[in-house]
Amino acid sequence: MTSNDTQFDAIVVGSGITGGWAAKELTEAGLKVLMIERGRKIEHQADYETEVKAPWEMEFRGQGDAELYAREYPVQMLNRHFTEYTQNHFVNDAEQPYQKAKGKDFDWFRSYQLGGRSLTWGRQCYRWSDYDFGANKRDGFGTDWPIRYAELAPWYDKVEEFVGVSGAAEGLAQLPDGRFLPPMELNCVEQAARERIRAKYPDRLLTVGRTANLTEARPEQGRGHCQYRNICARGCSYGAYFSTQSATLPAAVKTGRLTVVTDAQVHRLEYDPATRRVSAVHWIDTKTGEHKRAASRIVFLNAGAFNSVHLLLNSASEAMPHGLANSSGVLGTHIMDHANTMAGMAAMPGFEGRTTFGNRPTGIVIPRFRNLDTLDGKGFSRGYSFQGGALQGTWTRGKRMAGIGADYKEELHRIGPWTMVLVVFADSMPRASNRLTLSNRTDPRGIRQLEIAFEHGKEEHAALADAKVEAAAMLTEAGGHVFMGFDQPGHGGTSIHEMGGARMGWDPKTSVLNRWSQAHDVANLFVTDGAQMSSSACQNPSLTYMALTARACDAAVKMLKEGAV
Amino acid sequence: MSTQHAGWSRREFAGGVALFALALGIPAAAVKLTDLAAEDAPTDRQNRLIADVSDLVIPRTDTPGAADVGVGAFVAMALAHGLNATRAPMASGMVTAALAPFQRRDGSLRHLVWLEHALDRAAGGDFLRQLRENRVALLTEFDAQAMAQGAPFSPWTAIKGLILTGYYTSEPGGSQELRYELVPGKWQWDIPIEPGMRAFSSDWTAVDFG
């Protein structure tokens, strides 16, 4: 692949959740596709090295080497899902540097590997509604989405049916139902909380988290049902959660039309001003340092929101001096990440004799109830929702308890008391000042680094302040004794829902992409990861990225057939 | 943490710990130590102290205790590697006169050195030379003060946390004292707690939020 000896119909940059979908949809449509992944190859099952390890088989008992983490993983180590078991599914920060604007923090959690963050994602799958697609138009932040829910609904259907999303249909306008596999049950505390909260607040519904874990096997995909281990991020040999490896990659490979290159950092798209097309994709073989290129009729960017923007910024040329597809000047701007914090935690008495068996790989969700048909948010115009759940303590509660000796050991022997946690995710407002630019510093391969300038604004703070009050009120209503709650968001990036930077819009003068996730300026270029988002909603975004990717693939194939690209 | 190989011999430290491990009947490979500064090598006495203190916290009952599974060696290694944020610089407000002598130049605390002094002080002499029942009484009081609600910061909290980690992530602690199910295979959302039912060491959410 060092020259033009292989001509592809499509090149897909990135192999995560949306890259996998692009590869699947485009190959299944008959296209010859090259998928380029900057990280190493991870083979389904064979390479999930820590999957079945017990803590006593790990050098640091699963906690990891804090000394190594401080030195090489200072950002990734802040992720709750980064452990000794999963550390090889995250980047080494020392090898993959980025810059933060002075005085502004951003914790960028990344996974550079075949499958990307599809291996480590939280698996929560929520549809957006027209409260979300209409949000920018309603309150004037950002630019209006050029699509609405009705256009995306069939694509949500399509991706959910393939992904396998377990969840309960609840008939909520703000969180539309999907094509669900049977839901996992709420535990006894959550069940009681659902009933008590609904009795007091008819507009607030606690339901089980909609998750990409199979409650029914998918033999046709070679995927087994969930084993209730809840160690997904180590990799799942059952293929029970949706990942590139478990689902989209095998489907794409099966067509015989997919070529995959790993350890290949794409650093530039070559633009031909005569044809106004991307004419080649350039990468560095990170193992040999060799520079390579390939050409294709269309290019899909699925490198991850910020990396796709980074690539466009690094692809500036004489014809497009401010970055590829950036005639509008908005490339890199209006980045978002949900403002997130633990809004409330409560002891839940009254369920002492009851417990569960198995580790359910999802929690609960209380969908948005603010600023729907009535603008009832004080100081904020959008929404927030809660995720969390009720759980029983185990030995780690001993870290906060006085006591030593046999009695103390006997106490920790027992199943601990119930607590309930509500974590809030609030809409992140699209703001021009939150943006990505190129740093003058380079990475170890000589590529200019990305600089991130991001901070939450007063709307997010107002939403989190309200969320803390409401979390406490609901936990109390559910019979709990609230002992903790926060209203200050974590650093940007904490939600791992970073998005935007190449927003979709009606007008080429104020947006990067059109309604088909296609660059206004460059007809054969599509960006279908989180970069395309014009607003953030407060739901986990991956399902929407997948639906938009499938839709864009369909549009691109039609355009190819019509000779439009 | 410095990554320089400072003056102390890593081999010597590893060798010492290996001997110590051998005495406890645990595999030396489990206490591998790398890239640590000289000043972080525990003395023999500190090794004996942390092993003893661990066993006072989690003694042998009908299941093995901390000494049986080599928790002291784990804690020594964990402290050397800074688990539980034990290599983080202490915030200035936390540094009392009692802690200041044990600070490293980077602001973090030498936990084992502090523990040795603090327990000897509590014992009014050599803590390790006290009878076990006296050591239990001394440590009970020491622990109660540190863990009391509203108590000022004490390094004991982190040490105790590491003792628990060392025990409950060992095979006997995780799978005999508690239950370990790698593959539950099913989700039972509401079952009664039977007498004697053990908590799970493999309930990862509980381990995180417990």
Q: What is the pLDDT of residues A468-502, one digit of tens each?
A: 999 999 999 999 999 999 999 999 999 999 999 99
Residue B66 has pLDDT above 60, yes or no: yes
> What local confidence, expressed as pLDDT, does residue B36 receive?
57
**3-class DSSP assignment, residue A344:** strand
8 A C-beta contact, residue A306 and residue A450: yes
Assessment of whether the complete model's pTM goes beyond 0.80: yes
Phi and psi at residue A155, in whole multiples of 5°?
-80, -35
A289-303, A545-559, B14-28, B119-133, range with the lowest pLDDT: B14-28
Residue A71 has pLDDT above 80, yes or no: yes
Q: How many angstroms away from the CA of A465 is the closest CA of chain B?
A: 23
Q: Return mean pLDDT, chain A.
A: 97
Residue B62 has pLDDT above 70, yes or no: yes
Q: How many angstroms away from the CA of A510 is the closest CA of chain B?
A: 44
Distance of CA A199 to the CA centre of its chain: 33
What number is the average pLDDT over the span A525-553? 98
pLDDT band at B37 (very low <50, low <70, confident <90, very high): low
pLDDT tens across B147-170, in order?
Answer: 999 999 999 999 999 999 999 999
Task: Inspect the interface and report whether the beta carbons of A70 and B184 lie closer than 8 Å.
Answer: no
Of A187, A398, A410, the CB nearest to B189: A187
pLDDT band at A436 (very low <50, low <70, confident <90, very high): very high
Q: How many angstroms away from the CA of B99 is the closest CA of chain A?
A: 21
Residue in chain B lying closest to A420 (CA): B209
> What local confidence, expressed as pLDDT, does residue A461 receive?
98
pLDDT tens across A343-375, in order?
Answer: 999 999 999 999 999 999 999 999 999 999 999
pLDDT band at B171 (very low <50, low <70, confident <90, very high): very high
pLDDT band at B7 (very low <50, low <70, confident <90, very high): very low
Residue A257 has pLDDT above 70, yes or no: yes
Q: CA angle A436-A442-A445, nearest 5°?
A: 120
pLDDT tens across A319-346, in order?
Answer: 999 999 999 999 999 999 999 999 999 9
Q: What is the DSSP string of A164-182?
A: -EE-----BTTB---SEEP
> What local confidence, expressed as pLDDT, does residue B41 receive?
86
Q: What is the DSSP string of A435-500?
A: EEEEEEEE-TTSPEEEEEE----HHHHHHHHHHHHHHHHHHHHTT-EEEE---SPPPBTTTS--B-
Residue B6 has pLDDT above 90, yes or no: no
pLDDT tens across B85-97, in order?
Answer: 999 999 888 899 9
What number is the average pLDDT over the span A285-303? 97
Q: pLDDT above 90 covers what percent of chain A?
A: 98
> What local confidence, expressed as pLDDT, does residue B93 receive?
87
Task: Inspect the interface and report whether the beta carbons of B87 and A67 lie closer than 8 Å.
Answer: yes
Token representation of residue A327? 């005639």
Of B82, B186, B208, the CB nearest to A66: B82
Token representation of residue B140? 């009970």
> What local confidence, expressed as pLDDT, does residue A109 receive?
98
| Largest pairwise CA distance in chain B | 58
